[in-house]
């Protein structure tokens, strides 16, 4: 298992009422994404736990695009990866962000 850490500066705090959200399942070509709020509004910290080695550059690229698109400020994101392809990662992150905006 490998743990990857990423830190980003986001444009603004992610709006929404929910304190946390969980999307996805740890299964083949899928992943669990836990989103929790942190005090610093422009920080986005991501931790990825994965058994698939050698894709650091891809994670970096996917997460960078996600941060740019969705401005997920004030979030700590924890990921358990079951071997998901980048499009599934991007989808779960987007679903997580949407859930955070839902009514609690």
Partner 1 sequence: MRRLSWFELSARNRIAALLDARSFEEFIGPEEVVTSPHLLQFDLPVAFDDGIVVGRGRLDGKLVLVAAQEGRFMGGSIGEVHGAKLVGILRAARALAAAGRTQACLLLLDTGGVRLQEANAGETAAAEAVRAVLDARTAGASVVALLGGRAGCFGGGSLIAACCSHIVMSEHARLGVSGPEVIETYKGAEEFDSQDRALAWRTLGGMTRRLLGSADALVDDTAAAFRQAAIAQLQRPRPLEMARLQAEHARLRERIRRFGDCRDGAEIVRRVLEPAAVYGLDNWSAQDTERLIAKLPESAHDAR
Partner 2 sequence: MSSRDARLARAAPFSQGKVVAAADVTALLEAVLTPGDRVCVEGDNQKQADYLARALARCSSEKVHDLHMVQSGIVLPEHLDVFDRGIAARLDCSYSAPQGARIARMLRARHIQLGSLHTYLELFARYFIDLTPDVALIAAVSADSNGNLYTGPNTEDTPTIVEAVACKGGVVIAQVNEIVPQVPRVDIPGDRVHFVTRTQQPFYVEPLFTRDPAGITETQILMAMLAIKGIYAPYGVRRLNHGIGFDTAAIELLLPTYADALGLKGSICTHWALNPHPTLIPAIEAGWVKQIHCFGSEVGMEDYVAARPQIFFTGVGGTLRSNRALCQTAGLYACDLFIGSTLQMDLQGNSSTVTRTRIAGFGGAPNMGSDPRGRRHFSEAWLKAGAESRPAQSTALPRGRKLVVQIVESFGESMEPTFVERLAAVEIAEELGLPIPPVMIYGDDVTHVITENGIANLLLCRSPEEREQAIRGVAGYTEVGRQRDRRAFQQLRERGVVRLPEDLDIDPLDADRTMLAAGSIRDLVRGSGGLYRPPARFRNY
CB under 8 Å to 67, separation ≥6 — which residues? 8, 10, 44
Across 65-76, b (16+ Cβ under 10 Å) vs e yields: ebbeebbbbbbe
Q: How far is CA 7 from the centre of its chain?
A: 11
| Residue 94 found at the interface with partner 2 (CB under 8 A) | yes
Q: How far is the CB of 31 from partner 1 (least distance, A)?
A: 8
Contact string (CB under 8 A) for partner 1, positions 21-60, x = contact: -x--xxx--x-x-x-x------------xxx---------
Contact string (CB under 8 A) for partner 2, positions 53-72, x = contact: --x-xx--xx----------
């Amino acid at each position: 298992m490998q743990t990857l850490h990423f830190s980003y500066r986001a444009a603004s705090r992610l709006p929404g009422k929910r304190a946390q959200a969980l999307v996805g399942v740890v299964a083949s070509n899928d992943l669990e994404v836990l989103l929790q709020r942190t005090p610093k509004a422009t920080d986005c910290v991501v931790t990825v736990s994965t058994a698939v080695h050698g894709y650091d550059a891809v994670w970096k690229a996917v997460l960078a695009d996600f941060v740019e698109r969705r401005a997920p400020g004030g979030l700590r994101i924890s990921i358990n990866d079951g071997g998901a392809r980048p499009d599934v990662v991007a989808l779960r992150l987007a679903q997580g962000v949407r859930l955070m905006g839902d009514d609690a």
